[in-house]
Amino acid sequence: MSLPTLRSAVARATAGPSTAARTFATSASVAAKGSGKGKDKSNVTKGQLKHKNAPPDPEAMKLADAIRVLRALEIANTGSAFSVQVKTFTNKHTIPLRGRVHLPTDARRKPDVVVVFADPDSPSSEAAIAAGATHVGSDDLIPKILDGTIEPNIVISTPTLLPQVTKSLARFLGPKGLMPNAKRGTVGEGQALAQLVRNAAGSVEFKANKIGYIRNAVARMHFHPDAIEENVRAFVKSVRDASAAQATAAEDPIKKNKNALTSTVLHVRIGTTQGPSIEISNV
């Protein structure tokens, strides 16, 4: 992008509402709910086909150009973060998409606190320590978690201690989305548990809301533009992969329809902490 073009893009981004400027969004738009009953069919609906066949947004930018514009707008806010907003297809039959991704350049402000529940001196306990878990123990960890001495953001358990963890911590960890669960990859033993620790540490969890929007911070303002772009592409790829895996596991009827959406990712936007967001045309 040439300097005059960049200046023009920045000017349009900061223009007032009466100026014919690029349509930036500060938050993801929410589609209105349908009024009638029984309109959520298993086959592709007219609304879904509209998303599938809609032409590209003429005001969308290539990722590298969008990064340059957003950095220019946030030049005084060096502590800002770049976030990715992904809109995925959803209806009342789909489970909100969720998963984890290891970003090429770590964007976290502080390291993970990984707590592992395993019997002392067991092979699972030794494997968890070797894999880099922050805290490893059994019932001795429970009061420390409840009183805030330990503030985990990842909790893993062996199958044998899971009932005890559930009984003592379900009401505390459940609302935070931290309860160990085999389907989420946070229950295991031995070397399998060690691999869970390695996979969880340093990764970023994402989860779609009820209307299919995923929003996560993926980079910091001081990152090199190439590192920002690499992180954005890695995040979007992980969302696509998780979406494809979920559709296959559920045998999503949409995938069997001749008019099926080629991807459940409908569009991607990149934004900053205090700035606008820009739709991306090449991810």
Q: What are phi and psi of 73, to 5 degrees?
A: -75, -25
pLDDT of 249 reads 61
What is the length of the chain? Answer: 283
Question: Are residues 92 and 120 located together in one domain of the fold?
Answer: no
Residue from 4, 109, 82 nearest 275 by CA: 82
pTM: 0.68
Using one digit for the tens of pLDDT, what is the confidence trace for 31-50? 444 444 444 444 445 555 55
133: left (phi over 0), alpha (psi -120 to 50) or beta: beta
What domain range is 194 assigned to? 114-201
Only one residue has tokens 């970023």, namely: 204
Stretches where the chain sits below pLDDT 50 are: 3, 16-23, 27-44, 252, 255, 258-262
Question: Are residues 135 and 55 located together in one domain of the fold?
Answer: no
SS3 (DSSP) at 235:
helix
Domain count, the chain: 2
Question: Are residues 72 and 212 located together in one domain of the fold?
Answer: yes
Q: How far is residue 22's CA from residue 20's CA, in Å, rounded to a whole number?
A: 7
pLDDT of 55 reads 60
Question: Are residues 35 and 165 located together in one domain of the fold?
Answer: no
Strand-pairing partners, residue 206, are: 99
Question: Are residues 23 and 104 located together in one domain of the fold?
Answer: yes
